[in-house]
Structure 1
Amino acid sequence: MHTFDVVIIGGGILGTSISYFLSFLNKSKNIAVIEQAQNVAFHTSGRNTGKIHAPYLYNPEKKKMFANAAFHGFDMWKEYSKIHDLPFKKDGVIEVALDKKGIKVLEKYLKWGKQNGLKENDIELMEKSEIKKIEPEIKCEAALYVYKDGSADYAKYTKALMKDSKENGTTFLLDSKVTKIEKENGKWKITLNGEHKIFTEFLINAAGGEAIDIAHNVGVATCFTDVHFRGEYWKAPREYNNLTKTSIYSVPEFPEYPFLDPHWIIRVDGSCEIGPNAVPVFSPYGYNKTENIKEFVPKMLEMLGSGARKAIFDKQFQELAMNEIQSSMSKSAMVERVRRFLPKINADKITEKGTAGIRSSIINEKGKFESDVILLDEESSFHILNYNSPGATGALPFAAHIVNHLHQSGLFSSESTDGQCGPWKFLDIIEKLEKK
């Protein structure tokens, strides 16, 4: 049995980023990260679009934390990628409007982007004739060209962070599933894989798709529940690799729900994909029928006994969910959404599926989806809930924010916050975050 000063549950990009900063600032403390998969970033963190998102999609009031972290994340990932020779490409993104209603949304996004820190040369609203000169294959009424947007490989980034953290003494417990958490003699006793026990003075819950379950297990956040959505991709053939210069997104029709129309994605290696959709599933690991069937009854009972009941019986939610299920069952239905703005694509030429990922969204007791991250302080634990897109983009600055918050609140005091953390002075990161 091992005793640690702090244990982080979750080896995704956020949990690993938190361990990175803690490891530099707490050289004499024992830190551990628990991850049930065989490697870090095995689930959501390594199964996404791989975009370093510019903060134009995020309401500066409702998603202030996400927007601020995303703004600073771009420069931090750029610097980190140079040091570790990791793939990074500033390639921009284009958001297209297909009607007058969509143009109004682009105007709002332009305003949000500037409020969130983007400069004049970072983002530009274009008429369809202007965008046609740059991207002749795009069909739209107007477009927002966001130049400060990039592509990355977040699985590689997370593995590099783990390596740095391990070199500073952090223990990574892989292939270790948390099966029980309880208090014993003032410490947390955590059971792994049903048999091994570890103890910790302080617990950080950064478990992503299982964060709500971990919180509920220790009596926290009982007014919230989560719903899971599987994002699927289709790989485009090589002949489409030069169809556009940059990734293309379309304006979401129902932004209050976690349903985004599939995008045209150009990954950091130059390959192209269509996706993701957002198919409702019953587990944070619901990649297949077996897992979903196993979790169907317990998840439905949980949702029916919570605020999620109001959401799942909402007619618009049901209609949107059915559309997503149809896009999962029919390749043509999914490709057709992208053909609205890239009509040259032929669904018959797209035959190979990409890697699906699952993201989890939080529903409150009123049956509404929470838009921003939820941070909960407890006496000897800290819980990060609803940390979704653009979570990977903002993981480094957000992790620094969390470590500083724990220090300032006295929940887990670092030995020093004036230290060097890789290429950054920790207090310089905090100063930038507080300025914005």
Structure 2
Amino acid sequence: MRRDFDVVIIGGGILGSSISYFLSFLNTTKKILVIEQAHSVAFHTSGRNTGKVHAPYLYNPEKKKMFAKAAFHGYEMWEEYSRLKNIPFKKDGVIEVALDQKGTLVLEKYLKWGKQNGLQENDIKLMDKEELKKIEPEIKCESALYVYKDGSTDYSLLTGEVMNDSKNNGTNFVFDTKVTNIKKTSNKWKITLDGEHEIFANFIINTAGGEAIDIAHKAGIAEKFTDVHFRGEYWKAPKEYNNLTKTSVYSVPEYPDYPFLDPHWIIRVDGNCEIGPNAVPVFSPYGYNKTENIKEFIPKTLEMIMSGARKAIFDKQFQELAINEIQSSMSKSSMINRVKRFLPKIDATKITEKGTAGIRSSVINQEGKFVPDVILEGDSMSFHILNYNSPGATGALPFSAYVVNYLNNQGLFTSENVDAQCGTWKFSKIIEKLGI
């Protein structure tokens, strides 16, 4: 592998791959490298989600305008890209249910937000329980928000195609390679790989997901933040439940200020159904098993105690919620019963097979509060995307274009042709649609 690059992207998830995609079209003479420590792109969070392509009804249009636009246009872009690459994409909708009057008020807010964010009358509808019963007789609730413009796909396959297009434009990808150190030397970054090999870069883009905070700290950036990790687990439903509902079913979150998710009823793009995810606190972004968590227990605990995370982990409500999530991991019935509240026909004894777990990392600030939004930090030689949980995979393509455009506007990294044709999209048209 060559040693000198114009740009090194750390992290080959859906975001890092998508940024490399746009850079490869806009910078045909620059040397770009993507470093991924797993053996393929989208190996962790990007490929371990539910595969949902979400309509932007969860975003406050005043406070989260950019994220809403990214989700709105991301839906269109993934649908088009899936068709181009012959990857499954189903416009199958989603139903968000409220189990009480408090939840109904939340759904009314979501309906308003969805329409403000560009959804049309035929894209989203609030129903009472009697109206929903005619469409979905097995769902029990007080009210429901039926979002027709919601889809399902396979983000692992999509990210693989994005990588291939980027590689065809000259981007280098290396796998099974870990960034162990970063240091400024003269006007370049010296990046140590696997503790022994060294490469040099003029500019770094950090899209390392669960390790993004650690990479930023190595570069002397975002030191006031720390992160905590949550493993989301799934249970696979037997084939007899494949027609229980026509679409996936979510419930209004009880504790929106915390990253604890109420398990959903998921219908994947291949028609298989799952229950999940929960959010079990773990000690590593790769804490899928006991061995990894035991190894990272002491260093991660010390890190949290010495940071703002200390206030969060000693918060009584957080502790209660964390214990509930741990219980849901230890007890299948505990987790499945959450979904039985709105799908009472489910029998936990018939569900015996676990699905693929994924890990979501959330950032905590100095005050001990979970940061709800993406954090963008950097200096003249680096750019760090932290806490990228929302707009997530749905918004990855337009958000990546936004990042590249931002770097250009800030003069941090100048592209050769900002009006380039990027595959099926013209870059300037993407930016124009985002309205930024």
Q: Distance between the aligned counterparts of 2:199 and 2:61, measured in 1?
A: 41
For residue 362 of structure 1, what is the aligned residue in structure 2?
363
Structure 1 residue 351 corresponds to structure 2 residue 352:
yes
- 8 Å Cα contact 2:221-2:378 kept in structure 1: no
Equivalent position SS for 1:86 = coil
**Deviation per CA, 1:329-379, whole angstroms, max 9, x where unpaired?**
000000000000000000000000000000111111111111111111311
**Deviation per CA, 1:103-149, whole angstroms, max 9, x where unpaired?**
11111111121222212111100010000000000000100000110
For 1:60-139, what aligned pairs fall within 5 Å after superposition?
60-139=61-140
For residue 188 of structure 2, what is the aligned residue in structure 1?
187
What letter is aligned with 2:113?
W
> How big is the shift at 1:185?
2.1
**Deviation per CA, 1:37-65, whole angstroms, max 9, x where unpaired?**
00000000000011001111222344333
For residue 400 of structure 1, what is the aligned residue in structure 2?
401
For 1:173-184, what aligned pairs fall within 5 Å after superposition?
173-184=174-185
- 8 Å Cα contact 1:65-1:373 kept in structure 2: no
Structure 1 residue 146 corresponds to structure 2 residue 147:
yes
What letter is aligned with 1:422?
G
Q: Distance between the aligned counterparts of 1:315 and 1:59, measured in 2?
A: 28
**Deviation per CA, 1:182-219, whole angstroms, max 9, x where unpaired?**
11221011111111111110000000100000000111
Structure 1 residue 207 corresponds to structure 2 residue 222:
no
Q: Distance between the aligned counterparts of 2:225 and 2:256, measured in 1?
A: 20
> How big is the shift at 1:390?
3.4
- 8 Å Cα contact 2:373-2:390 kept in structure 1: no
For residue 380 of structure 1, what is the aligned residue in structure 2?
381
Unaligned runs of 5+ in 1: none
- 8 Å Cα contact 1:64-1:372 kept in structure 2: no
Q: 56-65 or 305-314, which moves further after superposition?
A: 56-65
Q: 298-307 or 265-274, which moves further after superposition?
A: 298-307
- 8 Å Cα contact 2:69-2:434 kept in structure 1: yes
For residue 313 of structure 2, what is the aligned residue in structure 1?
312
What letter is aligned with 1:55?
P
Structure 1 residue 218 corresponds to structure 2 residue 219:
yes
> How big is the shift at 1:66?
2.4
> How big is the shift at 1:246?
0.1
What letter is aligned with 2:20?
S
For residue 13 of structure 1, what is the aligned residue in structure 2?
14
> How big is the shift at 1:245?
0.4
> How big is the shift at 1:299?
0.8
What letter is aligned with 2:95?
I
For residue 284 of structure 1, what is the aligned residue in structure 2?
285
- 8 Å Cα contact 1:128-1:141 kept in structure 2: yes
For 1:264-303, what aligned pairs fall within 5 Å after superposition?
264-303=265-304
For residue 239 of structure 2, what is the aligned residue in structure 1?
238
**Deviation per CA, 1:356-413, whole angstroms, max 9, x where unpaired?**
0001111111111111111113110000001014310000000000001111111000
Q: Distance between the aligned counterparts of 2:47 and 2:61, measured in 1?
A: 27
What letter is aligned with 2:6?
D
For residue 391 of structure 1, what is the aligned residue in structure 2?
392
| TM-align CA RMSD | 0.9
For 1:337-348, what aligned pairs fall within 5 Å after superposition?
337-348=338-349
Q: Distance between the aligned counterparts of 1:346 and 1:333, measured in 2?
A: 12
- 8 Å Cα contact 1:66-1:391 kept in structure 2: no
> How big is the shift at 1:67?
2.0
For residue 172 of structure 2, what is the aligned residue in structure 1?
171
**Deviation per CA, 1:301-326, whole angstroms, max 9, x where unpaired?**
11111111111111111111111000
- 8 Å Cα contact 1:55-1:70 kept in structure 2: yes
Q: Distance between the aligned counterparts of 1:65 and 1:302, measured in 2?
A: 32
Q: Distance between the aligned counterparts of 2:59 and 2:345, measured in 1?
A: 30
For residue 229 of structure 1, what is the aligned residue in structure 2?
230
Equivalent position SS for 2:122 = helix
Q: Distance between the aligned counterparts of 1:377 and 1:210, measured in 2?
A: 16
**Deviation per CA, 1:248-284, whole angstroms, max 9, x where unpaired?**
0001111010111100000000000000000010110
Q: 296-305 or 269-278, which moves further after superposition?
A: 296-305
> How big is the shift at 1:2?
1.2
Q: Distance between the aligned counterparts of 2:219 and 2:422, measured in 1?
A: 32
- 8 Å Cα contact 2:36-2:175 kept in structure 1: yes
Change (3 A) 1:150 1:252: same
Change (3 A) 1:118 1:242: same
**Deviation per CA, 1:1-47, whole angstroms, max 9, x where unpaired?**
51000000000000000000000111111000000000000000000
Percent of pairs identical after alignment? 77
Equivalent position SS for 2:435 = helix
